Amino acid sequence: MIDMSVLDELELDEATVVGSICRSSFYRFVVEFFESFLCEPFIDNWHISYLCGVLQTAAERVFNRLPKKGDIVVNIPPGTTKSTICSIMYPAWVWTRMPSAQFITASYTDSVGLDLALKSRDLIWSEKYRACYPEIVLRQDQHVKSYFKNTLGGSRYTVGVGGQVQGMHGHFLLVDDPIDPERSASEADLKTVNRWMTRTLPTRKVATYKRIAPIILIMQRLHQDDPTQTLLDMGGDSIQHICLPGEITDDVKPPELKKYYKDGLLDPVKMPRGYLEDLWRQLGEYGYAGQVLQKPIPEGGMMFKTNMIVLSEIPDKIQWVTRLRYWDKAGTKDGGARTAGVEMGKDKDGRYWVLNVVKGQWGVDERERKIRDVAELDGKDVRIRVEQEPGSGGKDSAVWTVRNLAGYSVSVDKVGQSSGNKEMRAEPYASQVNIGNVYMVPGGWNKEYLDELRHFPRSKYKDQVDASSGAFNFLSKPVVRAGGGWQTSKGIFHGLTSKKYS
């Protein structure tokens, strides 16, 4: 708090001095005004001054009409005063410097966003704020929680993510927790939020501030394909990414902030180790990894503990029991799903090998050409299995692929397509991965393959997992010697030789 003991000697008005000091420093504003509208004491920590500095730097560029250096993404756990700083106090402070500033603010539901807007309005209505900034007066004809204005042209419009923003424009576009932790696994919700964040919100900037107005996203990580990842993928190095896990990890960004962690903790007063242990029990391994550690998967993976997969070249004298290429098909070019073909083998020692992965978003004709080309590269020693989706369309597609592969040993796998079935089909393969009985040949496809397994079933894509599960479930069937080849319940195939895959 500001020391007012010298004001009498200087014959200065307290409100004038407080207002002037806090107008020039957002951090001082937070410290000074925190208790003026919240019935709780202010507890400081280094991350508060750091976030205030980042937000003030972004605001100063808007005040001076300078192009933004980039949008801002902040990942930080709940309970760190993030919403108070960013969604409640920041707009109120900006008005002390730029009373005409227009804000569009959003959260995952209207009710959450409106609660934050109401608290921001309470701050502006507080006796202390009005004394320090008497020029900021809320208009009586437009001061509902979802949309209020001041008499100098400033406004705050609040909406649930995905809601209507037509006709509204902002100098600042501020999004606080755009997805509900309870619904973070919903692919439909994620698509809606990401589409709104990337296609709708950026179009709602004040016309003369198109290159100036920043998007500021504050959230906890909840999914591989959440809005944080979407903005990072689109913005690349232009995004100012701040990641502050509750415990120190290699994911702290910028990395130089690690030096401020005390005993490995972001905030040992508000988030001590005992509190974090309680959170781990309440949230579970996945919830804790995302909401506290800001990494939406537990260490090593979820269903698949990918750290147990052994990366290895194929031994020269390996003896194969079976090799198979399994295709999980998608039929829309550049669509949401991908076609994936996973080649997998089982050796005589009972080890499973991921030999090669081919994937892409292809139209039907291009997809069928690719499948035929891959079959020719694999050779006729590699059996082919094609997933058949339910319905007549799935049957026709499978028949088309089988005909396209005339001359090769091809069979059709009829499976269901619900999310639950995908997970159940993946469980046997995951069991072998998790005991270290799956080997993977080094290749440029390794990283994306491991990333998908690591995040499954909350991965952005599931095609490589589906194809792997299909291949494994076939390879793991009992095999007996029959004539000159090996027989499973699905048939006999021959010529199983050692192969060095490149």
What's the rounded mean pLDDT across residues 332-360?
Answer: 89
User: Which of 291, 318, 341 represents a domain boundary (last residue)?
Assistant: 291
In whole angstroms, what is the distance from residue 89 CA to residue 109 CA? 20
Does residue 298 sit within a domain? no
By C-alpha distance, which of 125, 213, 124, 135 is closest to 168? 213
Considering the entire predicted model, what is its pTM?
Answer: 0.70
Does residue 38 sit within a domain? no
49 touches 26 (CB < 8 A):
no
Strand partners, 103: 156, 172
- Number of other residues whose CB lies within 10 A of the CB of residue 17: 16
Q: In what order do the strands lie in the sheet with 320-328?
A: 310-311, 438-440, 352-360, 339-347, 320-328, 383-388, 410-414
Kindly state whether residues 333 and 221 are assigned to the same domain.
Answer: no
Residue 222 has a pLDDT of 86
User: Which of 258, 291, 324 represents a domain boundary (last residue)?
Assistant: 291
In whole angstroms, what is the distance from residue 229 CA to residue 227 CA? 5
Kindly state whether residues 266 and 339 are assigned to the same domain.
Answer: no
Does residue 438 sit within a domain? yes
DSSP secondary structure of 252-317: -BSGGGGGG-BTTBS-TTTS-HHHHHHHHHHHHHHHHHHHTTS-SS-TT-SSS-GGGSEE-PPPTT
146 touches 157 (CB < 8 A):
yes
What's the rounded mean pLDDT across residues 420-429?
Answer: 84
**pLDDT tens digits along 46-74:** 999 999 999 999 999 999 999 999 999 99
461 touches 187 (CB < 8 A):
no
Backbone angles phi, psi at 197, to 5 degrees: -65, -35
In whole angstroms, what is the distance from residue 94 CA to residue 54 CA? 13
277 against 498, higher pLDDT = 277
pLDDT range class, residue 218, cuts 50, 70, 90? very high
pLDDT range class, residue 225, cuts 50, 70, 90? confident
In whole angstroms, what is the distance from residue 317 CA to residue 337 CA? 38
Question: Could you tell me which residues come within 8 angstroms of residue 248 by beta carbon, excluding any fewer than 6 positions away?
Answer: 258, 261, 264, 265, 266
Kindly state whether residues 425 and 286 are assigned to the same domain.
Answer: no
Does residue 12 sit within a domain? no
Kindly state whether residues 86 and 214 are assigned to the same domain.
Answer: yes
In whole angstroms, what is the distance from residue 359 CA to residue 389 CA? 18
pLDDT range class, residue 332, cuts 50, 70, 90? low
Kindly state whether residues 269 and 343 are assigned to the same domain.
Answer: no
By C-alpha distance, which of 470, 469, 492, 466 is closest to 479? 492
Does residue 498 sit within a domain? no
pLDDT range class, residue 145, cuts 50, 70, 90? confident
116 touches 284 (CB < 8 A):
no
Kindly state whether residues 404 and 381 are assigned to the same domain.
Answer: yes
The number of distinct structural domains making up the chain is 2
Residue 103 has a pLDDT of 98
Kindly state whether residues 219 and 312 are assigned to the same domain.
Answer: no
Does residue 473 sit within a domain? yes
Kindly state whether residues 234 and 359 are assigned to the same domain.
Answer: no
In whole angstroms, what is the distance from residue 240 CA to residue 252 CA? 13
User: 472: domain CATH number?
Assistant: 3.30.420.240
Kindly state whether residues 253 and 364 are assigned to the same domain.
Answer: no
Is the model's pLDDT at 501 over the cut of 60?
no
In whole angstroms, what is the distance from residue 418 CA to residue 397 CA? 19
pLDDT range class, residue 7, cuts 50, 70, 90? very low
What's the rounded mean pLDDT across residues 26-55?
Answer: 95
348 touches 322 (CB < 8 A):
no
105 touches 113 (CB < 8 A):
yes
**pLDDT tens digits along 273-317:** 999 999 988 988 778 888 999 988 766 667 898 999 999 999 999
Kindly state whether residues 270 and 371 are assigned to the same domain.
Answer: no
Does residue 54 sit within a domain? yes
- Which two structure tokens, joined as six digits, stand for 137? 């007066």
Kindly state whether residues 281 and 337 are assigned to the same domain.
Answer: no
* Range of the structural domain that residue 384 is part of: 306-493
User: 115: domain CATH number?
Assistant: 3.40.50
Kindly state whether residues 84 and 209 are assigned to the same domain.
Answer: yes
Residue 8 has a pLDDT of 47
Does residue 17 sit within a domain? no
pLDDT range class, residue 5, cuts 50, 70, 90? low
Is the model's pLDDT at 149 over the cut of 60?
yes
Mean pLDDT for all residues in the chain: 88
